Amino acid sequence: MATRETSARQTEIDLASDAPLYEQVRDRLSQMVLARELSDSTPLPTEPNLMELFGVSRGTLRRAIEELVRDGLLSAEQGRGTFVVQEERVRRVVWQRLSEVARPDSRFDLDLSQYVPDFAGANLAHKRVMKRAEWKNADVVFCAPDNSIELLRLAALESGKKILVPTYGLRRGFIFLDGAKIQKTDHALAATLDGMERFGKRLGPADLRQAGTIDLVVTGATAVTTDGRHIGGGQRYLALEWMMMKQLGVLSPIALVFAVVHDCQVVDEMVEAEPDCLLDLICTNTDEIDVWQPRDSAPTKLRRIK
């Protein structure tokens, strides 16, 4: 095994390095996935090919791949081979880009795997949302607990709207806040995760109907695709919340879904993912992308937003 490992031809694998060989292979493989040097749609090259590519033993290669599977970037499918998890690849690429513009969270700092960050220029994206008729006409707005829309939640409260906000990780259900019933001086605090539970009513899934009919859904995202997919932090909370609202019949049939993201979070590719909550409009710091697509439940002309 030692002789095979010392025959490394790839310059990326540094035999003199202190880092264990499998870690170097893991990191190099991960880089290749993010750079799209490996295809999403076909399995990874065969073990012998990869062993030759990296100049390492089967054991080293397997350990590297196992780590990436555990990490969620690769998935090993029995009998078919090992595949890149496209959604996770997109997430990682966007996290790298976001590090330039993301604002730290009060608890998670810049650990973007734990939260959706606020970003430089978010106010410009908010303005695009606020000038839409759907926003102006909405009485009840579902707002994700994402940092990037904290100030949009504030704007909603200030204009007397009602907002329904899930608690972080849905740990304590949803919070229902009525801007008209909260004192103006408390609006800023009520728009934060730290403050909202002091001013709103906690609703469990069974009480969601008390929120009335939701006219509009506004969310941040880890990434969005130009075909209207929302990619969250990995735990699919928005999909879960969407499902609950839909099943309980609290979503207006013409409720649209707006996403607020930084330009660098928009990914121009088709991502194969479970169809959870499809987006209708993406508002960024510089642009507005209409990604409207017909959905079975709603009359087409009502769904069109332009």
Partner 1 sequence: MSSALSTDQYREQIWAELAKVARPDSRFHWDFSSFICDFIGSEKCSDRVLELDALKNRGNRQVFITPDNCLEDLRYKLIQRGIPFVMTTYGIVRGFYRLDPSTIPASDHRYAATLDGFDRYGVSMPLVELQKGEKFALLVTGGSAVSNNGVRFGKGHGYFDFEWAVLSELGLTDSSSVVADVVHDCQFVNEVMPAEKHDVVVDWVVTPTQVMHIDQSSRQSGRVFWELVPGTEFEQLSIVAELRAIQNLGPL
∠ CA 166-108-123, rounded to 5°? 65
Distance of CA 77 to the CA centre of its chain: 24
User: Dihedrals φ, ψ of 207, to 5°?
Assistant: -100, 5
Q: Are the C-beta atoms of residues 242 and 276 closer than 8 Å to each other?
A: yes
Q: Pick the binder of partner 1 from 32, 34, 189, 305 (CB under 8 A).
A: 189
Q: Quick one: DSSP state of residue 169?
A: G
Toward partner 1, which CB reaches closer, 148 or 252? 148
73: its two tokens: 């970037």
Length of the chain in residues, anyone?
306
| Binding flags for partner 1, 4-43, as an x/- string (CB under 8 A) | ----------------------------------------
Nearest to 148 by CA among 83, 244, 224: 224
Per CB under 8 A, which of residues 102..141 are in contact with partner 1?
Answer: 103-109, 115
| Token reading at 66 | 């196992």
Nearer to partner 1, 114 or 226 (CB): 114
Contact 200, 170 (CB under 8 A): no
Q: What is the total count of residues that contact partner 1 (CB under 8 A)? A: 24
Shortest CB 191 distance to partner 1, Å = 9
Binding mask 137-176 for partner 1 (x = CB under 8 A): -------------x----------------xxx-xx----
Residue 10 DSSP label: -
Residue 185 contacts partner 1 per CB under 8 A: yes
**CB 180 → partner 1: shortest distance, Å?**
17
Which parts of 76-105 interact with partner 1 (CB under 8 A)? Answer: 103-105
Q: Report CA-CA distances (Å) from 239 to 108, 144, 187, 243, 276.
A: 23, 11, 28, 6, 5
Residue type at 109 in one-letter notation: D
Q: Which stretch binds partner 1 (CB under 8 A): 127-135, 188-196, 229-237, 260-268?
A: 188-196
User: Which CB, 54 or 115, lies closer to partner 1?
Assistant: 115
Is 239 within 8 Å of 277 (Cβ atoms)?
yes
Closer residue to partner 1 (CB): 103 or 304:
103
- Give backbone dihedrals phi and psi of 150, rounded to 5 degrees, phi first: -55, -45
Give the one residue of 33, 193, 221, 279 binding partner 1; rule: CB under 8 A. Answer: 193
- Residue 168 or 263 having the CB closest to partner 1: 168
Complex with partner 1: residue 175 or 261, whichever CB lies closer: 175
Instruction: Between 158 and 263, name the residue whose CB sits nearer to partner 1.
Output: 158
User: Is residue 205 near partner 1 by the rule CB under 8 A?
Assistant: no
**Please, are residues 249 and 214 in contact by the beta-carbon 8 Å criterion?**
no
* Residue ranges in contact with partner 1 by CB under 8 A: 103-109, 115, 150, 167-169, 171-172, 184-186, 188-189, 192-195, 197
